[in-house]
Each structure stands twice: as C-alpha cells, then as structure tokens.
Structure 1
Amino acid sequence: MVAFGGGHGLYASLSALRRVTGELTAVVTVADDGGSSGRLRRELGVLPPGDLRMALAALCGDDDWGQTWSRVVQHRFSGEGELHGHAVGNLLIVALWELLDDPVVGLDWVGRLLGAHGRVLPMASVPIDIEAEVELDGRVTVVRGQVACALTPGNVQAISLVPADPPACPEAVAAVRAADWVVLGPGSWFTSVLPHLKVPRLAEALHDTGARRLVALNLAPQPGETDGFSAEKHLHVLGEHAPGLRIDVVLADHRAVADRDALEKAADAVGARLVLAGVASADGSPRHDPLRLAAVLDEIFRGKR
C-alpha cells in the first residue's frame, strides 16, 4: 500500500492503513511553510519536516513504546524562547538529516526508533512552494505558499508548484510502481492531496502503475480551501489536475454525501465505483475514525465491498 497526502488527513489514513497491511509506504507533501516546519525550512534550507513527522507518529503502534514515542515526537515546546512552538520530532528529523546527509535514510532511522509500522518518504527531494489561482469578487489572483493557500478568503481554482518540475523522491516513485493499492486522501485537497499529481515523475508513476487506486473523500469542506465544495466537486477538481488518471474506488462517508447520484456520476467519470460507508468519528466531528476506516478499507482490499 502507498498512501499520498500530508497533515491530519494523511494521519487519519495511515492510522487506519497500518492496521490492515504490513507493507505500507507514506508519500508526503513537502510544501509546508508555516510554524516550526517553516522556520526550520527557512533557517536551514531543509525539507519541511512537520508532515513527515505526523506521518511517522501515525505509524506508531498501539503498545506503550509506540504510543510514548508518538507523543514525544508530537510534543511542542512551550515558553517564550526560541524553542517555542518547535515540535520535538521536527528537531530530531532535521538532526538526523544533518548527520546522515540523506533525507530518506534519516526518516528510516526515525521510523526504526519509533517502531513505525511502515515507511515515510517525501514526495520530492527539494522543498516546494504551492501557487494557487484564487477567485475573489470576480478577480483571479495568484497566492503563493501553503499557509496562504489554506487561509485564502477566495475560492481556489487550481494549483501549481514552484519549482514546476521538482525532482521526485526516487524511493517514492519505486514504491508507487511496486504497489498493489495507492490511496489518495483524505486531506486538504489543494495543499496536501493534489500537489502529488503535479510532481512529473511521481504523477507518471501513478498513471503507469499496475496498482489499483482509491480516493478517500473528506467528511466536510475545508474553510479557505474548499468552501462550498460538494463531494463530487472534489473529484471534478482531481480530474482537472490529473487528466486521464483512472481511479478504481471512491470511498465516502454516507452522511457526508448530499447527492448520491451526482457523486456516482463523478466517480464513473474517473472510472471508479463508489463505496459509501460509515467511516466518521462517532462524536459527530468531521474526523475519520481509524478503526471504522480500517475495517472498510480491509473489506475493499479483500474484494468484499
């Protein structure tokens, strides 16, 4: 299994997938320019480690070792000094990158320390910026940076990457080509999911792989990025950013779908069958429940749903 994404969406996906497969690779966006990651990126010229750290935390086991290390790497320093806001895991990852001079090897070492149930890889070998075409009051402007794109008051129309042709992580390309399943989403659509489709070699591997492709839709629109988006709109935008990409399964929570017929038509347009299931948290919040999501994904992968 290979899972694409970043941030909280990928965390949810990996928390479920690690429960259904022993062969799991996370391919993570490297566009974050805010908070601790943005500071480290600007000061040291490294890949932003935050989304990579979250993916590693999601892959920690449910035993004491895994849960303790998950909390450690996610811990943020408080206070008013220069460490304020930095996540312990970000500093650990960057330290290993400096010592080993190889981002992939450094991430593998962190994964071994945490006992991670899978591997975490960056989608590109260099930091990237996201540029979004944003429509506001009838005018289209360009907004640059992941944080700016996520918080824009306008409607995001499309994204591109800077540089436009970033070098894909070779290990990520190899993982996609060797996969049985590739999972895209859930997550911030324009800043965590779609950027993978704009890295040429990674997109080429996703088109060419013999793996089946599953898209897991979000439970609610994201303020700033996808305000007003229906479930089917997410698929329309995906198709616009990756023309010709065939999807096998679209998974959505039945309570998050306002128009089933419209979503089925959108899924059919990308070659997919639609699976509706209860995968949301029982507390009513727009979060995926890892155990429910794992159960449904397991049935899909085994051909039982």
Structure 2
Amino acid sequence: MSKITAPDGDDASRPPRVVALGGGHGLHASLSALRRVTTDVTAIVTVADDGGSSGRLREELGVLPPGDLRMALAALCGDDEWGHTWSQVLQHRFRSEGDLHGHAVGNLLIVALWELLGDSVAGLDWVGQLLGAHGRVLPMSSVPLEISAEVSGIDPREPEALTTVRGQVACASTSGRVRSVSLIPEDPPASPQAVKAVREADWVVFGPGSWFTSVLPHLLVPELAHALVTTRAKRVVALNLSPQKGETEGFRPETYLEVLREHAPKLGVDVVLADTGTVEDTAPLTSVVGELGGRLELADLSRGDGTPRHDSDKLAAALERILTN
C-alpha cells in the first residue's frame, strides 16, 4: 500500500500527520493500519489501566501503567524480520510460579527506562528507536489516572439505579451498563507533547476501542480536550464492530456517537467509519453523523473469522480513502 502525502495547501513532500487516540486492542488495530498509510503517526494512549502486569507495576512503583503504551509500540513495529521479532519480544509474557508470572517483557523494559531517565516520554521514545517503530507513542496524561463510572442495572431490583464503579478493570467488566465516566483526579494534567501533537495534526482518529475506558477518557483531560475541540485537524471516528458486555452492551452504531456527544458536546466530527456488516439500518446512523457535522463512510472492515476485530489491511484501505478525500 502506497503512503499518501499531506493535504492540499501543505508541503506536498511530507506525509499527513495523524494522531490516533485510544488504548488496548482497538488502538493496536488502528495503528497497525495507519502505519501502512502514513509515516507520521502519533498514538496518544490512556493511562488508567489497573489490571494485570500494568496494575502490579503501577501499584508497586507508582508509575504510569505501561501495558497500553507497550501495545501501541508493538503495533508500530514494521513488517520485516526486525519488526516482527521486536513486536514478539515486547508482547512476550513470563510464565512461572514466581513474581515474574504474567509480566510482559515490554512493560519491564519501559518502566526500566522511565526509572533511568526520569521522563516517561523520553523513555517511550527510546523504546520506539530500539524497535524501529513507524511512529511515536505518548501518554495522554503525565500522571496515572483512575476511571470512575456511573453504572445502571447492577441491582436487578432497581434496574435504573446508578452505582459508582471505580477502576478500569471494574468498569470494563461490570455486570451493569455504563452510563458515563469520569477521571480521578478530576482535572488531570495533559502530556504537553500530546497536546502539541493534536494541535499540529492533519487528522485525528478516535477508536476503535473500549468506548468508555479507552476512547472517551481523552476528552476528560481538560487541556487535551480543548486541543481536540479546537485543532485544525479533521476528525475521524472509527466505530467498533460489536458491543462489549457491560461497557457498551446493547449499543447500536449511532449510540457510540450519542455518548461521544454527551461527553464532548463541542466536538465536531468530519468522518465516521463503520463496518457494513454491523450497520443494519443506515438512516439513524447517518442522521447522528450529520448532526455532528460529518459524513458516513461504510466499508468491509471485519477479519471475517467470527471475532469482533478489524482486519488491518481492510482498515488501512478505508483510512487511506478517507485521508485522501
């Protein structure tokens, strides 16, 4: 797939600057696609994970949770032998009966560099150089965050009653339905490099990913949210292929956009990308997209293997069409 150049009016010799927001598997999918489309990709990653290896390192050392940052770096590795090898090394988890069990090599490498350099962004840049990453990875905030969600349906006797659930893992795995999310601390500091990347971008891509725990949190960091609303960049929202139990159970395609608008009423959207197989009725989705000021793009994006995951090649082709129009 050929790389595209900057939009009209910019230096045609440079690639478009694209910022991708999210975390976990959804951001991994968008980065795996975007690095095939442009050579100027910056991932801005949520830092609220409190489970697994990341949660243990966060609790023990007081660092940013490295797991989603690691996954983003792995997604930006190249398709050559060097890239494949380092991606596997970064994602490798130890299996043992001791304290190392479950830790990802990449998490330990990232935290080691943070301790040596005393700078989270510099540490990630060093890992990126080692991997030959096709882009840059930044945390959305300079401090570890906690997600708090208002959830309904936990008590079957009072299905509309709201319960406050705290922690990313708890919010993502709740038996109820998430209605809204907030961050603790309430007004966290944004990563200055992340704000700068958004302001200088040509395109900003939201999603796919866990909607309440990976995508929306970026809009709850005040300085970053202001940059996302006021940037000259065009904004793309890539919708998920299926709802997630608890977090987005029962969501229709347009529901993701309605929730996005509730959390960021001033945010405009230029393009919404959705999978043809998940949109049964285009009318309500097209209506909400129009209310946000954008246009709807439909494409076959699924792997087609029964899993609710995007195919990197198909997603890359769809994003290339969008970024060149």
| TM-score of the superposed pair, with normalisation by structure 1 | 0.99
Q: Please say if 1:168 is aligned against 2:190.
A: yes
Q: Please say if 1:271 is aligned against 2:293.
A: yes
Task: Give the counterpart letter for 2:44 in structure 1.
Answer: V
Q: Which residue, out of 92, 102, 123, partners 2:119? A: 102
User: Which runs of no fewer than 5 residues in structure 1 stay unpaired?
Assistant: none
Q: What SS does the corresponding residue of 2:284 show, helix, strand or coil?
A: helix
Q: Please say if 1:58 is aligned against 2:80.
A: no
CA distance in 2, matches of 1:258, 1:237: 20
Q: Which residue in the other structure is 1:39 paired with?
A: 56
Percent of counterpart pairs with the same letter?
69
Residue 259 of structure 1 and its aligned partner are, at CA, apart by 1.7
Q: Which residue in the other structure is 1:180 paired with?
A: 202
CA distance in 1, matches of 2:300, 2:183: 35
The within-5 A match list for 1:1-305 is 1-136=18-153, 137-303=159-325
CA distance in 2, matches of 1:222, 1:134: 14
CA distance in 1, matches of 2:182, 2:197: 24
CA distance in 1, matches of 2:272, 2:265: 17
CA distance in 1, matches of 2:291, 2:143: 34
Aligned length: 303
What are the Cα deviations for residues 261-282 of structure 1, in whole angstroms up to 9, with x where unaligned?
0100111111110000011113
CA distance in 1, matches of 2:229, 2:77: 30
Residue 138 of structure 1 and its aligned partner are, at CA, apart by 2.3
Q: What SS does the corresponding residue of 1:77 show, helix, strand or coil?
A: coil
CA distance in 1, matches of 2:268, 2:61: 39
User: Which runs of no fewer than 5 residues in structure 2 stay unpaired?
Assistant: 1-17, 154-158
CA distance in 1, matches of 2:131, 2:199: 27
Runs of 4+, deviation exceeding 3 Å? none
Q: What SS does the corresponding residue of 1:20 show, helix, strand or coil?
A: coil
Confirm or deny: 8 A CA contact 1:280 1:288 kept in the other structure.
yes
Confirm or deny: 8 A CA contact 1:230 1:258 kept in the other structure.
no
Q: What SS does the corresponding residue of 2:237 show, helix, strand or coil?
A: strand
CA distance in 1, matches of 2:291, 2:60: 45
Task: Give the counterpart letter for 1:199 in structure 2.
Answer: V
Task: Give the counterpart letter for 1:130 in structure 2.
Answer: I
| TM-score of the superposed pair, with normalisation by structure 2 | 0.93
Confirm or deny: 8 A CA contact 1:93 1:106 kept in the other structure.
yes
